[in-house]
Amino acid sequence: MDKFSSKDYEEFKKSVEQYVGIDLNFYKEQQMKRRIESMVKKFKCTSYSDFFNLISSNLKVRDEFCSYLTINVTEFYRNPSQWKIFDERIVPYLLKNFGKELNIWSAACATGEEPYTIAMILSKYVPNQIIHIYATDIDQSVLDKAKEGVYDESAVKSLPPNLVSSFFAKTPDRKYRVVDSIKKCVKFEKHDLLKDPYPEKMNLIVCRNVMIYMTAEGKEILYNGFNKALVNNGMFFIGSTENILRPSKYGLSNETLFFYRKVKDI
């Protein structure tokens, strides 16, 4: 692949930003290049510009490129030990400090398993009618799937069986449909964490497994934005392989594994 020069890649990034709206400068270059080059090979293109011509002329390839690039892997109750802490410590903390009507944002929610998991856990504590979760992602195709709320068996494999039986209906083709009472708790919207304005007055922000793909500069945009989006003492929940270097710089304090509390405005 060394025939693909850095100059070519710089041009490609600009074209992708203009046409697809994803700014690749904020994502780790090695990782992105590896993914892009494997698609370039798959479609037998001879250069980045050749591949860009294909993306811009073929909607199916464009969508496949977006989905592959943005890495949509997720599942219900992903990393169960994190959700155990959320259930046993964080939810009681949030209810005690902010009452039952919480403002919750699942940022980079992919196909919806994460915000639905939050709703399922919360519904043990508060009536579904007052659970409102704002769930966003940059990729419209994952949001469409999220709104549909129908999943393969593999998506529910980490969920405790009692949650599966309480919150899913089996479809005739052996899929799992999220029940309406949980679906109604989540509002999905397209949102780019690197560009779009953030919501305000959040008591909890869950943003897992997207910052790992970003450069330090990209992460910084998110941390600053999350500080402003959170109320004081609001909680920020990150992925199981992530951690924030120097959280105090962003007005955050590490409360327990994977959870940061906003301690001040920045």
Ligand X SMILES: C[S@@+](CC[C@H](N)C(=O)[O-])C[C@H]1O[C@@H](n2cnc3c(N)ncnc32)[C@H](O)[C@@H]1O
Closest CA relative to residue 229, chosen from 252, 254, 212, 259? 252
Nearer residue to ligand X within complex by CB, 45 or 121: 121
Kindly tell me the burial class for residue 129, based on how many C-beta atoms sit within 10 Å of its own C-beta (0-12, 13-18, 19 or more). exposed
Q: Is 40 in the site for ligand X (CB under 6 A)?
A: no
Considering only residues 33, 48, 134, 139, which one is a binding residue for ligand X as defined by CB under 6 A? 139
Segment 70-89, which members bind ligand X (CB under 6 A)?
A: 70-74, 78
Please give the order of strands across the beta sheet that includes 150-151: 150-151, 176-178, 168-170
**Site stretch for ligand X (CB under 6 A), options 30-38, 68-76, 81-89, 164-172:** 68-76
- Which of 149, 225, 239, 251 contacts ligand X by CB under 6 A? 239
Interface with ligand X (CB under 6 A), residue total: 22
Task: Choose between 78 and 261: whose C-beta lies nearer to ligand X.
Answer: 78
DSSP 250: G
Number of Cβ atoms within 10 Å of the Cβ of 6? 9
Tell which residue, 1, 20, 12, 27, has the closest CA to residue 65: 20
Q: Does 193 bind ligand X (CB under 6 A)?
A: yes
Taking CB under 6 A as the criterion, the residue among 32, 91, 108, 204 binding ligand X is 108
Question: Could you say whether residue 110 binds ligand X (CB under 6 A)?
Answer: yes
Cβ-contact 231, 131 below 8 angstroms: no
State the residues that interact with ligand X by CB under 6 A: 70-74, 78, 108-110, 114, 137-139, 142, 191-194, 208-210, 239
